[in-house]
Amino acid sequence: MPLEIRLINDSEYRAAIDFYNNTRNLTGPAKKVMRGSDEFCWEFLNGPNRKAVYACAWNIEDGKEPVLIGTQCMIIHRIITTDGKMILAAKGEDTLIEINALRKFKKTDILKELNTLLTDECRNNGVEYLWGFNRLPATYRRLGYKIPFKSFNTVLVLNPVKTYQYLLILRSDHTAWGKLKIATLSGLAYVCSLKRIFIQTRKKGFHVNSEINDNTRLFQRAAYPDRLFFLVQDQEYLRWRIGDNPYPVKYKFFQLLDRNNTVKAQIICSLNNDVAYIEQTLFAKDLKRKSVNFLLKSMVKSLKNELIFLVRYTGTRNNTLNISEMDLLRNMGFVLTGSGEWFTFKSLSDNSVITPDSIYLSHMYKQGRT
């Protein structure tokens, strides 16, 4: 019963799609969002930079078709610094190992071998660091990753009744006490959201539009003078990530421009099943707080008009820009609901100047499936 670990061939994409849809992963059941050929090609083959580096583990038995038992891949991104330097990074995706295979091949560390293959391939492609989010910190420490911090989940409740019904579906605790806790939290979060009504705003000298614009320069204006690193979100990337996205997710852009039509602030939201997700916010450093509040309140008003009942946001506190983003949203009435996933980081270059604290993180790094 030999185990073969190698990069995927073009003829094996269908097997990878079926494996993703049918396999229980290391931390939970099979995915709720199913993937077809269009979704697979969009995510791993047609990205704005290059094809993803995709590795597979196969169970090879004489006289039988090889059986896929594990996958892991790296999606290569371009990262830019506030001073304009461009580097390559890779984000881990599709880490799936069939549970029975772990027992069958217990003498082989399948995940480690997949990751070693991907690490070598990424290094050969000029990638300087690997990163991702996961719920298995001990496992990734064993693979040589740093696990410096966790993300945080927050929500803005716009309709407490619908939020209660939504959370009830997500939670497995349907006891009377569990329902009471969810109802209480939904109600308290809604009360907290009302503080936005009393926040002062100022629009004078600015106008709002909903265009999809390259935001690299805005990031540099938002992060200066700190030397931070940012996912390149040029027109090509935004067209792939948003315009070509085959999943049933709608996106809205909220931008604040000055008299010279310079973008001074931008908020990107995704909408799915009457729930919104703040993907990213950027505000130029010289923008006054009241002007920031104006755009945030305009966003909330627009989402409420579209019958959105809950706005979600996942943030970190690893640098000044991410801390500022979280503080602005909490001031607007977002409430903390708990910690999220661990951030994983591995440098592949002896000369790399990137540290986990220097990376501006947002939900735009995710693949936008939901």
Instruction: Provide the number of structural domains found in the chain.
Output: 2
- Is 144 domain-assigned? no
52 lies in the same domain as 186: no
**DSSP-assigned beta bridge partners for residue 338:** 153
Q: What is the pTM of this model?
A: 0.91
101 lies in the same domain as 243: no
Report whether the peptide linkage leading into residue 225 is cis, meaning its omega lies within 30 degrees of zero: yes
212 lies in the same domain as 305: yes
192 lies in the same domain as 108: no
224 lies in the same domain as 313: yes
The terminus-to-terminus CA distance of the chain in angstroms comes to 38
Q: What is the predicted pLDDT for the residue at 104?
A: 85
Domain containing 248 equals 152-365
- Is 119 domain-assigned? yes
> What six digits make up the tokens of 352?
């790399």
User: Cα separation of 240 and 334, whole Å?
Assistant: 30
Q: What is the predicted pLDDT for the residue at 253?
A: 96
202 lies in the same domain as 258: yes
114 lies in the same domain as 242: no
> What six digits make up the tokens of 329?
């949203």
- 10: phi then psi, degrees, rounded to nearest 5: -60, -35
264 lies in the same domain as 360: yes
Burial of residue 173, with CB atoms counted within 10 A of its CB: 0-12 exposed, 13-18 middle, 19 or more buried: exposed
- Is 26 domain-assigned? yes
- Is 141 domain-assigned? no
Question: Can you give the pLDDT of all 370 residues of the chain as single tens digits?
Answer: 589 999 999 999 999 999 999 886 555 555 567 899 999 999 999 988 889 999 999 998 887 889 999 999 999 999 998 888 899 999 999 999 988 888 888 888 999 999 999 999 999 999 999 999 988 899 999 999 999 999 999 999 999 999 999 988 877 667 888 889 889 999 999 999 999 999 999 999 999 999 888 999 999 999 988 999 999 999 999 999 999 999 999 999 999 999 999 999 999 999 999 999 999 999 999 999 999 999 999 999 999 999 999 999 999 999 999 999 999 999 999 999 989 999 999 999 887 788 999 999 999 988 766 6
What DSSP character marks residue 360? -
Q: How far is CA 358 from CA 83, 300, 340, 342, in A?
A: 13, 29, 20, 16
189 lies in the same domain as 313: yes
Q: What is the predicted pLDDT for the residue at 88?
A: 94
Cβ–Cβ under 8 Å, residues 163 and 190: yes
158 lies in the same domain as 9: no
Q: What is the predicted pLDDT for the residue at 79?
A: 94
74 lies in the same domain as 182: no
157 lies in the same domain as 121: no
> What six digits make up the tokens of 199?
């926040």
Helix (H, G, I), strand (E, B) or coil at 13: helix
CATH number at residue 181: 3.40.630.30
Q: Comparing C-alpha atoms, which of 121, 152, 147, 153 is closest to residue 134?
A: 147
> What six digits make up the tokens of 184?
């209480």
**DSSP-assigned beta bridge partners for residue 283:** 265
> What count of other Cβ atoms lies within 10 Å of the Cβ of residue 120?
12
